[in-house]
Amino acid sequence: MNTTLKIAMAQIAPVWLDKKATLAKIENSIKNAVAESCELVVFGEALLPGYPFWLALTGGAEWNTEVNKKLHAHYVNNSICIEKGELDSVCKLAKEHKIAIYLGIMERPTDRGGHSIYASLVYIDQHGEIKSVHRKLQPTYDERLTWSPGDGHGLKVHSLKSFTVGGLNCWENWMPLPRTALYGQGENLHIAVWPGSDHNTKDITRFIARESRSYVVSVSSLMSKSDFPKDTPFIDKILKNAPNTLANGGSCIAGPDGEWVVEPVLNKEGLIIQTIDFNRVLEERQNFDVVGHYSRPDVTKLTVNTERQTTVEIK
């Protein structure tokens, strides 16, 4: 049995808050991954259409201001409604080329009314089917000014060749119980997506790998001043306070022993490609298996609510 999996980490910058242009860039990265015979391609958190950097640059916590209202509306208008088919082109590529995809999007779901947005991690399998949409459970700090809190519906794992793959968004990866929810379903390839920068990925990637005895793939985006489109609302105000580099990447892979397979890659746009071997998981589980032989469910056990939360239930 072929126990290897070839992975592409797509460390790219969005065409910030422009969903059509960013989607075209994502599709091009998928095609490039296919050309390299990759079987899984992973994109960063909220890449489509971008991270809300303006919140820290324009007084995002100020109440009832024109700046915050108009930028939020612009963000929502460029977020993705899956129910309207806005990921169909990505699914088509996955099916045509038999490649699995993890993609970080800003989701505008109709089951919550279609006006609030969620940082969602979408898994598309090699048949082009969306198998899970994980809405970030707890937006971090200023993200709460524009993102809504998600639910446990997307805490799912998926079979991919010899592997069982699952994923979390950004600082969710620091939450031990959501991690455990995935471990308990057999996860052995953990996908951690980030908006960017090695200060996020350099410690937690190896920690999760060592805790779970799994491969951990952390994928970040890039963002610099030049990536802000000139027609963005209040662009002058944003650029006035923006550093030259807002996200420097830091995409990386740790092995089941917690050591680097690919060290964090900085300030380099494009695909980072690596082949991993499932047998390394079994080797490291020999002495520690956090939900198997090294667990005590008679003493501690986790309960997970995977219901999709909605305000209205139509019967």
Write out the catalytic residue numbers.
45, 136, 170
Q: Are strands 245-254 and 215-220 parallel, antiparallel or unpaired?
A: antiparallel
Name the helix (H) or strand (E) containing 70. Answer: helix 66-77
Separation between Cα atoms, residue 156 and residue 181, nearest integer Å: 8
- How far is it, in rounded angstroms, from Cα 20 to Cα 49? 8
Q: Count helices and strands (H / E) in the chain.
A: 7, 13
Angle, vertex CA 30, rays to CA 257 and CA 203, nearest 5: 30
Q: How many C-beta neighbours within 10 Å does residue 127 have?
A: 11
Rounded CA-CA distance 122/130 in Å is 7
